[in-house]
Amino acid sequence: MILAENVVRIGQLLKPHGIRGEMLLFFEREGCADKDTSYYFLEIDGIFVPFFVEEMRFTSDTTARIKFEGVDDVDTASRYIDSGVYLPKESVKITNDDTGTAWDLFVGYAIMDQTLGDIGVIDAVDDSTMNVLFVVKKNNREYLVPATEDFILEINESRKILYVDLPQGLIEE
């Protein structure tokens, strides 16, 4: 079974297109429209189900008409409208370009501070304000750590560790 921490949301199905089961896919995450993939996961009742791409044509740089195998009419396509569209996390590159960092890709990473050592594991990302925060949990305690490149020293993707140098006093033990 595919778990939520192993996938990343890249878009949403908007509406059926035509009568053959095609749907309009809106790419929410920049750069994911360029992915050459044979399948996407749709979240259906909290479960990530793979759907194999039969045909896909781009209508803009953020939308495409997509036809999944086994979805052959407008009624079947209508069942999946507003479904989130996901890719495996390892297939989405963590980037630090001028479009910004996809901070939610770091959920599940451990945070190791240069001075304090193990801070905990990133449980969620709070992007409800202009200052994005990592919600870090360790031993039934929760810490809010600013998600900024200024504090990150190194990213070890294979071991899922962020090495950071946090300002003194930010984390109270």
Q: Report yes or no: 148 and 155 within 8 Å, Cβ to Cβ.
A: no
State which of 93, 117, 140 marks the end of a domain. Answer: 93
For the stretch 101-156, pLDDT in tens is: 578 788 889 999 998 899 999 988 887 777 888 999 998 899 899 888 889 898 88
Q: Where are the beta strands (DSSP E) in the chain?
A: 7-17, 22-27, 39-44, 47-58, 63-68, 84-88, 96-97, 100-101, 110-113, 117-126, 133-138, 141-146, 152-156, 161-164
Q: Over range 35-60, report the average pLDDT.
A: 89
Residue 173 pLDDT: 60
Which tokens is 144 given?
A: 């809010």
CA distance 71 to 62: 22
| Domain end (from 75, 93, 111) | 93
Residues 12 and 74 in one domain: yes
Sign of the dihedral defined by the CA atoms of residues 38, 44, 48, 49, in that order = negative
The number of folded domains in the chain is 2
Owning domain of residue 142: 100-164
